[in-house]
Amino acid sequence: MKLNLPDSMDEGLTAGAESDPIGEKVDAKSDELMLEFDEHYAELVAAHPEHEGKRDLAFQGWIIQKVAGLQLCVSELERRIADIQKQ
């Protein structure tokens, strides 16, 4: 599976470019995650006003939690696959 991602962040899809269903899913999920973070940040600032203006720091903590969750999911899938292979 190959993702057709731009070489740089400022390079986007051009008009008439071939449709990439995987790339479109990645874009849609990215948009969903950014909306989720926006909600998280708003809740964080509402509960802890001292975090106002520290969006980058909040994002770093939030994304680390997301990555940790993904790693746990992968570990669980590996364990389940190993269990199935033993049967």
User: How much is the pLDDT for 18?
Assistant: 66
Whether 15 maps to a domain, the answer reads: no
Mean pLDDT value across residues 26-41 = 97
CA dist 47 → 10, 40, 41 (Å)? 35, 11, 10
Whether 82 maps to a domain, the answer reads: yes
Q: How many domains does the chain have?
A: 1
User: How much is the pLDDT for 87?
Assistant: 92
Confidence of residue 81 (pLDDT cuts 50, 70, 90): very high
User: How much is the pLDDT for 32?
Assistant: 97
pLDDT of 52-63, one tens digit each? Answer: 999 999 999 999
Whether 13 maps to a domain, the answer reads: no
Whether 14 maps to a domain, the answer reads: no
**What whole-number distance in Å separates Cα of residue 30 and Cα of residue 35?**
9
pLDDT of 6-32, one tens digit each? Answer: 554 444 444 445 678 999 999 999 999
User: How much is the pLDDT for 1?
Assistant: 40
Whether 56 maps to a domain, the answer reads: yes
Q: Which domain holds residue 41?
A: 21-86
3 pLDDT above the threshold of 90: no
**What whole-number distance in Å separates Cα of residue 71 and Cα of residue 7?**
26
Whether 2 maps to a domain, the answer reads: no
Whether 16 maps to a domain, the answer reads: no
